[in-house]
Amino acid sequence: MAKTIEKKLEIASEFVKCPKCGKDIKPQGMPGHMRFVHATHTPSPRKDAPPPKPIQRVVASVSVVQELKSIVADLDEVRQELERVKKKKDAEWFKHDETLDDRLSVLRAEETKLKARLQQLKARTTPNT
């Protein structure tokens, strides 16, 4: 008698109760039971899913995003200033102003440096395939 109770307890421990109908189901069969009997889907964890990223990779990703935001903001600012200077240069009364030519060359050089930083950032973060 004690052996049959132990056997039933052992078998019962291999099952889990369905939260909807209370039926005893083996754990590996629960997703199928839920999908086919109750028309709901309970996702099972994928065995081939990549492991969670270590915190160092997450921190590195955040710093890359911050650097990217900074470069883009600087580049946007330089391009806006370039447009303002070009408009002044195109105006009739500033046509021969050499300081505007100097300012344009400085802004173009800064734009080139920022584009190079973007390329370096892209090269650092693009995975080798």
pLDDT of residue 117 exceeding 80, the answer is: yes
Record the pTM.
0.49
What are the sequence ranges of the domains in the chain?
2-37, 55-125
State the DSSP code for 47.
Answer: T
pLDDT at 16 over 90: no
CA 113/CA 107 separation, integer angstroms: 10
Tokens coding 69: 């935001």
For residues 111, 115, 117, 120, the Cα torsion angle rounded to the nearest 10 degrees is -160
- Rounded CA separation 99/105 (Å): 10
User: Cα–Cα distance between 126 and 120 in angstroms, integer?
Assistant: 10
Average pLDDT over residues 106-121: 92
Which residues lie across from 24 on neighbouring strands? 17
Residue 125 backbone dihedrals phi, psi, to 5 degrees: -100, -10
85 or 91, higher pLDDT: 85
Tell me the per-residue pLDDT of 27-81, one tens digit each, with 9 for 90 and over: 778 878 887 888 776 555 566 766 666 777 777 788 888 998 999 999 999 999 9
